[in-house]
Structure 1
Amino acid sequence: NNREQLDRVIAHTLRPVESIHFLPVELNAETLRAAFEKVERFAG
C-alpha cells in the first residue's frame, strides 16, 4: 500500500526496454496501477 514504492515499480515497468510492451494492451501508469491493485485485492 505504499504509493511511492508502487510508483517506482510502475516507472521501472514502463521503461521501453521491458518486454511487458509486447502485451496486446495499452500500458500506462493508470492501467498498471489498476492491475496491481486488483492483484492485491485477490491476494488479500
Structure 2
Amino acid sequence: IEKENKQHVHEATKQAEASPYPDPSETYTHVYDQEGEKNA
C-alpha cells in the first residue's frame, strides 16, 4: 500500500509541477474563513 501511495504522490507532483501557475486574479478563489463563510 505504501509503495502504491508513493507512486500516486509522485505522479501528482509531476503533474502539478508541469502545470502552469494560476492566473493571479484567482488568488482568493475558494478561500474560506474559520467560520466556513466564503471570503472571496
Q: Normalising to structure 2: TM-score of the pair?
A: 0.40
Higher relative contact order (CA 8 A, sep 6+): 1
Rg larger in 1 or in 2? 2
Q: TM (normalized to structure 1)? A: 0.37
Q: Report which of the two has the higher share of helix.
A: 1
